[in-house]
Chains A and B, each alone.
Chain A
Amino acid sequence: MQFCLCHGGLVFFMTPELFLQYLFAGVTYGLIYAIVAIGFNIIYNTTGIINFAQGEFVMLGGMTAISLHHYLPLPLAIAAAVAITMVIGALIEMVFIRWLHNPSILRMIIITIGLSILIREGALHIWGEGVRALPYFNGNEITSIVVLGVGVSPQVFWVLGVCGLMVAALYLFFKFVPLGLVMRACAANRVAATLCGVSTKNMVTFSFVLSAGIGAMAGCVVSPITYSQYDGGTNLAIKGFTVAILGGLGNSMAAVAAGLLLGIIEAFSISVVPLAFQDAIAIGILLIILFIRPHGLFGNRSAAMLKEF
């Protein structure tokens, strides 16, 4: 009966306008996921571990910026929030991870899950359970820009722009900046990098700082759209992890593509099944893709085979 109600009024064909609306919605979801997935990838590349607390960086960034916005203008508040989250990222690495010798993947998964729980509960006791949001960067909650006859919030373009900029900057950073090159060296071969006089430990710390910063930045940009709440990080982390895996771990460009794919699947799935099943459908499709290509859509087969517990 539930299904009948959902489909009762839906004429089953799609106007170009509706198609575009779904597409924009999908792009919005997808970018949010992609930006979290990139954070996963940066740490994965230098350390080979997945930092399950990545979603918490997003939440911390948003929450801190909102608190600071009471005292500072918006750009400053965001900058400060990103800086603070970066410091937290560095502290986390130094206190919990730096001194472990050759930790197994399983051990690292559990430690970062523990950290994510701890940060979330800490945020609950600091900020309370209430919901907050940063103001829209341009206009307000009802402003929309009409693109091809479809209303889109300007914040979507902010997310698009910031995400694009970050991906480009990361690409250049890892390609041309010496520090980025060194980090890539660590990813490729830790022992060799050490022999060349690179402090791999510092590089790991730096990767945490970088991905905390990216996460926090993402948290600020998406806050007006998604709101910020103490437990907002968990769900983003699950989706971001899914996207990172789907793209093939360690590949940030692929993460953007995979993120958009997931977002668009989610958006269009609504036209066929009830919204309540959206997650189930989206993740189901991802699992099937994963079964067919066990190393992700764009991942490297031999690299995936090497990683095990």
Chain B
Amino acid sequence: MGFARYIPIAFLVAGLVLVQQVTQHTGTTFYLTQLTMAAYYALVITGLCLLMGYAGQISLGHAGFFAIGGYIPAALTTYNLEPLREKWLVQTLDAAGLLTAGQDLYGQQVLHVHPWPSCILALLLTAGLAFVIGMPVLKLKGHYLAMATLGFGTIVYRVFLAMPLFGEADGISAVPPFPLLPGVTVSGDFAARTENYYIAFGLLIVGLLFLINLVHSRIGRAFRAIHGSEEAANAMGINTPRLKLQAFVISAVFAALAGVFLTHYNGGIGPSEASVMKSIRYVAIVAVGGMASLWGVFFMGILLNFMSLRGMFGTYDDAVFGVILILIMLFAPNGLLRLHLWQRMRRWRGVDKPKSRTE
């Protein structure tokens, strides 16, 4: 085992550099825009893969976590604190160096929260929220769990849609770039495209490494035991509620992280990011990628989002999605990349549950 599992990562990095070089030399760097966006969505999806594929818990509300991750920094970094400068809270924050002053496009004096503290706040808030709602929600099973997560997603969507602070239907625009490190900025500027392509995939690979390590550790084996049978896992002395909660919080933080970055990259966010349809998309891509297959989910996440964001399906975007969903679930319930005939035949006769397969 050992380092062998990291070899695909090396291939991936080489592939990513190759793609970037090819676009550079053929003058088609514009492909990187949608690849970058797709990478952030893939981050949500790989996180959800841990929860669904490994811990075996469905979530129809992950767009809610993504939206929280996107909306909190969007609101904080665009809300003008200048009129409130005299208030003690604003002064304390300012003294702590958490605010940035400047001028907006139209020459008005503005004072915003810096993207870093707002990003951290968003992640902490998401983790806390996932922890609090995860405890009761994850006690539910099957359809009841689906309902509870769907309900959570709907509430988040409604709240963002109803609150003037979050821009209601228009969402939030003019979100500033995120100066990650000196010289490294998450922004949608045409000039910063290549840089952002590497930021997005760098983040995604870090996330992927984390997940690969996790699923190959003791915790990962425990997850698979839960997926197989929760009662059996319990009997073996695995603390199932705690592990399920861990997976839930981790995947929520992944979603929120993607939300933070994509919002700064896009320069805005709208309520559609929190919609149930989005959550369903994430679940669908996890299913298409093969549930308990990080690599399958990763590639499907990139591919399908990339095609959708380029408008390849025209007015049939959702319809194509529906068709893919049905076809995969009917003919290749364990994912497209694992469509090996002899395995299929064997599984056809046996249990239907996807067995996680690792090298």
Using CB atoms and an 8 Å cutoff, list the residues of chain A in contact with chain B.
2, 50, 96, 100-107, 109-111, 113-118, 120-122, 125, 234, 238, 241-242, 245, 249, 274, 276-277, 279-280, 283-284, 286-287, 290-291, 294-296, 304-305, 307-309
Contacts and interface: CB of A to CB of B under 8 A. Distances in A.
A309 B56 contact: yes
B164 interface: yes
Residue of A116, A125, A274, A287 contacting most chain B CB atoms (<10 Å) = A287
Residue of B150, B158, B161, B323 contacting most chain A CB atoms (<10 Å) = B158
26 contacts: A101-B348, A101-B352, A102-B352, A105-B142, A106-B52, A110-B325, A114-B284, A114-B324, A114-B329, A116-B322, A117-B318, A121-B316, A238-B150, A245-B147, A280-B155, A280-B158, A283-B155, A284-B151, A286-B151, A287-B148, A290-B140, A290-B148, A291-B137, A304-B144, A307-B141, A308-B141
Nearest to A121: B319
Contact of A118 (B56, B319, B348): B319
A287 B140 CA distance: 11
Interface in B141-180: 141-144, 146-148, 150-152, 154-155, 158-159, 161-162, 164
A294 B146 CA distance: 12
B322 A117 contact: yes
A103 B329 CA distance: 10
B162 A96 contact: no
Contact of B139 (A105, A125, A294): A294
Contacts of B276: 234, 238
A290 B147 contact: yes
* Interface size range on B against A: 35 or more
Contact of A279 (B136, B154, B325): B154
B346 interface: no
Contacts of A280: 154-155, 158-159, 162
B144 A118 contact: no
B314 to A, nearest CB: 11
Given A104-B352, A304-B144, A307-B143, A277 B326 contact: no
A286 B137 CA distance: 12
A50 B143 contact: yes
B322 A115 contact: yes
A276 B161 CA distance: 8
Residue of A113, A125, A238, A277 contacting most chain B CB atoms (<10 Å) = A113
Given A279-B154, A294-B144, 6 more contacts: A101-B352, A121-B318, A241-B147, A276-B162, A304-B141, A307-B143
A242 B155 CA distance: 13
Contacts of A287: 148, 151-152, 155
A97 B348 CA distance: 15
| Across the A-B interface, the 7 shortest Cβ-Cβ residue pairs | A117-B322, A114-B325, A121-B319, A276-B162, A118-B322, A280-B158, A114-B326
B58 A106 contact: yes
A241 B150 contact: yes
Contact of A305 (B141, B150, B324, B333): B141
Given A96-B330, A105-B142, A309-B56, A110 B154 contact: no
Given A101-B352, A117-B325, A118-B326, A110 B143 contact: no
B209 to A, nearest CB: 27
Residue of B143, B151, B283 contacting most chain A CB atoms (<10 Å) = B143
B295 interface: no
Contacts of A109: 58, 143, 146
A229 to B, nearest CB: 15
A178 B76 CA distance: 64
B154 A238 contact: yes
Given A102-B352, A117-B321, A291-B136, A107 B158 contact: no
A107 B154 contact: no
Given A113-B280, A238-B154, A105 B143 contact: yes
